[in-house]
Amino acid sequence: MDDIKCICVGLVSGGFETIGSTASLIFAQLCTENGELWQERLYDDLMKIYDGDIVKAYQSVLLEEKSEFGVSFIRELLRMYAVIPLIPARKTSKEFIWNGVTVPEGITVILNAQAANHDKSHFGADADEFVPDRFLKDDSVNHPPYHFTFGAGSRACTAVNLSNRILYAGLCRTCLLFKVKKDPSRLPVVDYIDFAEDRQAQTNWIKEFGMSLEPRDEAMVEMCFSVSKNACKEDLSYSIEYN
């Protein structure tokens, strides 16, 4: 059974539900006690970077990752939640020495990304907490691969950069246009293990929770959505304007 799961994760479904499940966790974190503060911090940061121009910010977050807080938030989210907790089994292709131990060729290695991501000797005593500016304020952890949610090494996820960008753009666009409001009667479970609806699943999804989106400015929402629609219609090339 575990073998079958490993093959499915490794070959079929690199991108299967991973973005969706991680994106849902963005909203869950924005519905926590500090969620409102983080939304305003990101909003203010983007307004500063893009001179208060919402449409320009809305377009640009798809093309560049200028908000250091936004980048750190997504990095921390991926560290906190290894939605594929056990990385598919891989075999070593050559002998190597690691921490004084010789690892022979042909050995099966299974990386427990969830455990590695919460290693207190590396991330510190607050490793189990979600600290969105962790990678901003702690240089000792702010280096590749940052966390093990994409795996590591030559067989790591090929879509790391694409995934980071999609999640960053989703977070920024949400906070630019909306206030994410929690539903006090259906709060999300944000514990990095207990959040999972079904821990047998190939990709872990968060248990259902309640929330709503309140437009910051309805006319601006309409404007940005029509910008997106037209960009798709033309040739996805509104980037040219800003490069």
Ligand X SMILES: *[C@@H]1O[C@H](CO)[C@@H](O)[C@H](O)[C@H]1NC(C)=O
Report the residue from 161, 226, 230, 239 that binds ligand X according to the rule CB under 6 A. Answer: 161
Q: Looking at beta carbons only, is 93 or 158 nearer to ligand X?
A: 158
60 exposed, middle or buried (CB, 10 Å; 0-12, 13-18, 19+)?
buried
Contacted entry of ligand HEM, ligand X, none for residue 114, CB cut-off 5 to 8 Å set by kind: none
Closer CB to ligand HEM, 49 or 171, in the complex: 171
Contacting residue, 29, 60, 114, 149, with ligand HEM by CB under 6 A = 149
The three-class DSSP label of residue 145 is coil
Residue 117 one-letter amino acid: N
Rounded Cα–Cα distance for residues 226 and 137 (Å): 37
State yes or no: residue 158 binds ligand HEM (CB under 6 A). yes
When asked if residue 155 is in the footprint of ligand HEM (CB under 6 A), the reply is yes
Q: How far is the CB of 218 from ligand X (least distance, A)?
A: 37
- Asked if residue 84 binds ligand HEM (CB under 6 A), the reply is yes
H/E stretch holding 226 reads helix 218-234
31, burial (CB in 10 Å: exposed 0-12, middle 13-18, buried 19+): buried
Give the Cα separation of 28 and 10 in Å (integer): 27
DSSP assigned state of 86: B
Residues forming beta bridges with residue 96, ordered by sequence position: 103
- As measured in angstroms, the least distance from the Cβ of 164 to ligand X is 8
Contact 174, 26 (CB under 8 A): yes
The CA-CA-CA angle for residues 108, 113, 115, to 5°, reads 110
Residue 159-188 contact track with ligand HEM, rule CB under 6 A, x = bound? x--xx-------------------------
Size of the site for ligand HEM (CB under 6 A): 22
What is the DSSP pairing of strand 90-91 with strand 108-109?
antiparallel
- Residue closer to ligand X by CB (options 164, 202) is 164
Contacted entry of ligand HEM, ligand X, none for residue 15, CB cut-off 5 to 8 Å set by kind:
ligand HEM
Question: Which residue, 87 or 169, is less far from ligand HEM as judged by CB?
Answer: 87
What residues line the site for ligand X (CB under 6 A)?
158, 160-161
What residues line the site for ligand HEM (CB under 6 A)?
10, 14-15, 18-19, 22, 83-84, 87-88, 90, 149-152, 155-159, 162-163
